Structure 1
């Protein structure tokens, strides 16, 4: 379903050209969204922040005049709450490792066509959400790369999330006649099995870094050990959010413990303590193996 047309906003070829006129860019904290994490007003028609919870938060967005909410989190958006308050969701889930071209182009379509004002959020509104909002702002308001990076600085986006900074700084808007992805209310997100498979690959990257003395391995010079540890930590955190109540009972505590070990690994790498890092890595691998024996390899 074309959400733009369904919401009454014309898509290109349906009576309205894409928005291309620059808007005032003056990022500032947004006190009217008190209670929502990290709320920012980026332009008169674009806000970013944390996930809205319950009718009280959606009512605050409604009072601001927000018409379109964009979630880049992996959780399914609360579509019913948004609809009760006269808003529509667009779901463009991304990870902490960057914004793939498909997501950049979907966010471009949001910036050019979606009915505003627009509110962009991730989970806590500090890393992925501001990065996505910076893409929307470049597409809709014509801000430059430095201004886009200023959004990340303002929101406190961690420098350790190098892929987010890279893709915001390197964003090139697609041509106005470029076909852009269809926007959906609730995208298909990774299953728990897919999330765990991705974690296995990242753990393999960590093993390569360990063998290279906790430096980028010669065969994979693009790997940054501390960032790989961070991605494992965030991956475990997000995977826990995918757990069903039954799975949470079975191995939620084990995943939480593994997340803490991944945080210890990241800290050790950043402190340049290779022995400590190796000990944490080995503990992390043991916890993964033990969990697999109990719950996967039956």
Structure 2
């Protein structure tokens, strides 16, 4: 790799690898940086600009300590879950919460991105849950708003992050980004944004579903985990709209049946139930989330 393609930049006392893009291609990070990424507590972390990174949600002391060590001062969450503001403050970090869906980066979020670039001059870390879809999309909008990436480079960022092609709205809004007008009224940046009750319950459902996926890998199933997933789905069913209600109801019944499957240790039936649950979730997501 030539020096023209990859520059090591020291900014504000922190060493970082600049996310260099040339002629529409994303260069590979140097071998020593790859090794560092493998031991990182921050999954799917990408250095986009000396003042901007994206990745998965920081979890626990180690992740927030790593952010502080990297020189990050502001953590931007686009996830529906309440940010860990107390843990962030403990490590000298400020949280800004701009929740978005998988359906795209809406206009209010684009205005918030513009507010970020105008008001925040410190290094930022943008995250969703996994760090592959919503987070990189928001980071791409922020980078375009700041003039750090052009449209072609922003699309390359999504490709590198592994943003799913099924989330057409995210790709659309990054590709179709338009800077805010000078007269645009920009929103106030807040630590914890108000989110809909359904969105909050769906976050809980998603997190518990991942616990079940881990159980499936090891056949270490627990009735308590099944009940937590069932409860999250029940709460979602309670507040969802009429069209979603039959799908939610079917999912609740399906997960309820999994309790006895766990007790019988019927691993094959559990795998089939998880496959049916995934199919039911995808059916709903195609209409309301993607």
Change (3 A) 1:259 1:134: farther
Q: Is the 8 A contact 1:96 1:128 kept in 2?
A: yes
Q: Is the 8 A contact 1:240 1:252 kept in 2?
A: no
Choose which of 32, 38, 52 in structure 2 pairs with 1:46.
Answer: 52
Q: Any gaps of 5 or more consecutive residues in structure 2?
A: 1-17, 22-27, 211-224, 234-250, 256-272, 285-290
Q: Deviations over 1:93-147 (max 9, x none)?
A: 0111111100111012112321320000000100000000000100112422111
The number of equivalent residue pairs is: 206
Choose which of 20, 33, 52 in structure 2 pairs with 1:26.
Answer: 20
Q: Any gaps of 5 or more consecutive residues in structure 1?
A: 1-23, 200-233, 268-280, 285-298
Q: Is the 8 A contact 1:39 1:48 kept in 2?
A: yes
Listed as ranges, the matches of 1:178-197 within 5 Å are 178-192=184-198
Listed as ranges, the matches of 1:3-18 within 5 Å are none
Choose which of 261, 266, 277 in structure 1 pairs with 2:276.
Answer: 261
Question: Which residue in 1 is equivalent to 2:66?
Answer: 60
Shifted more, 61-70 versus 253-262: the winner is 253-262
Change (3 A) 1:171 1:53: same
Query: Given the alignment of the two structures, is residue 93 of structure 1 paired with residue 99 of structure 2, yes or no?
Result: yes
Choose which of 154, 174, 187 in structure 1 pairs with 2:180.
Answer: 174
Query: Given the alignment of the two structures, is residue 237 of structure 1 paired with residue 168 of structure 2, yes or no?
Result: no
For the residues of structure 2 that align with 1:121 and 1:130, how far apart are their CA atoms?
8
CA RMSD of aligned residues (A): 3.3
Q: Deviations over 1:223-263 (max 9, x none)?
A: xxxxxxxxxxx99637979xxx9x83753485584874353
Shift of 1:35: 2.3
For the residues of structure 1 that align with 2:166 and 2:230, how far apart are their CA atoms?
32
Q: Deviations over 1:57-88 (max 9, x none)?
A: 11111011101100000000000111111110
TM-score, with structure 1 as normaliser: 0.60
Change (3 A) 1:134 1:115: same
Change (3 A) 1:249 1:57: closer
Q: Deviations over 1:6-52 (max 9, x none)?
A: xxxxxxxxxxxxxxxxxx75266665551211000001110000000
1:180 is paired with a residue of what secondary structure? coil
1:120 is paired with a residue of what secondary structure? strand
Shifted more, 44-53 versus 26-35: the winner is 26-35
Shifted more, 67-76 versus 254-263: the winner is 254-263
Choose which of 69, 73, 84 in structure 2 pairs with 1:78.
Answer: 84
1:119 is paired with a residue of what secondary structure? strand
Q: Is the 8 A contact 1:71 1:121 kept in 2?
A: yes
